[in-house]
Amino acid sequence: MFGGATMKYLVSSLVLLGLMLQVVSDARAQTKEITLLSPNPIEATINKLTADFEAKTGIHVKITYGTGVSTRKTVATGRALDVSLLFAPFPEALKTGNIDPKSATVIGRLRLAIGVRKGAPKPDISTPDAVRRMLRNAKSIVSVDPEQGSVGGAVLLTLDKLGITQELKPKIKWVPTGGVVQDAVAKGEYEIAFGPYLSDMRNPGLDVVGALPPEASTPVDITGFLSTSVKDPKAARALLDYLSSPAVASVYESAKIFPVR
């Protein structure tokens, strides 16, 4: 049998353990988590911004990444997360009704760029006429397959805007990823890399000429939506507000993403 002192110690220990478990349980209950879907071309930037958001708010962000094409398909098949970031255009995603159109918030914009082999002459891309002339004169062009990445879709929209789609399509080689695009130009296999003006276009064998002017290539909006089934709308809205706030503009600029002004 336990003595009186020992019994008191056990009782007090059990009481303390119970209190500690209650504190842990309460803390876990107070820890909010929201889910985020994002295209992977902006992964490094989103990782940095969500880490800052978590540090400021204590709200945990669980992120799922996919390509620009696959994230749109995810939402279009009814699997939007609390917050979903999509590269425009996304008509099929809007049709499903599992994202709230009224919550649409543009957090940044992507622009297409031209890259050439390291040391090669840099073409003039300052005006729509200059871009049109550069593309027509190029011996070969390589870009991401529109079926596999949203970059290719943006390239086709640019060709449409310039009025040279049918003329240029036979000249373009479509490949699976941006990495393949850059490698092909760095090795001299193709003359022009047509891709996003992002910090990940950093192949050492490539010179990035610059972003195309908006008059030649409409910038691609990165738009965030809240799910219609979001469990904590206030927390999800806080994340979307933070991602679109002027306070994070410098983070976008450092990644060659154009902030919303």
- Does the pLDDT of residue 238 top 90, yes or no? yes
Domains plus CATH for the chain? Answer: 32-109+221-259 (3.40.190.10), 112-211 (3.40.190.10)
The pTM of the whole model exceeds 0.85: no
Whether residue 170 has a cis bond before it, omega within 30° of 0 = no
Backbone angles phi, psi at 31, to 5 degrees: -75, 115
User: Token pair of 57, please?
Assistant: 């708010």
CA 174, CA 141: separation in Å to the nearest integer? Answer: 9
Which of 153, 2, 193 lies closest to 71 in space, CA to CA? 153
Average pLDDT over residues 79-98: 92
CA 147, CA 101: separation in Å to the nearest integer? Answer: 25
CA 253, CA 259: separation in Å to the nearest integer? Answer: 7
User: Token pair of 101, please?
Assistant: 């159109």
Which of 39, 87, 103, 42 lies closest to 257 in space, CA to CA? 42
- Does the pLDDT of residue 4 top 90, yes or no? no
pLDDT digits (tens, 9 = 90+) for 181-233: 999 999 999 999 999 998 767 789 999 999 999 999 999 999 999 999 999 99
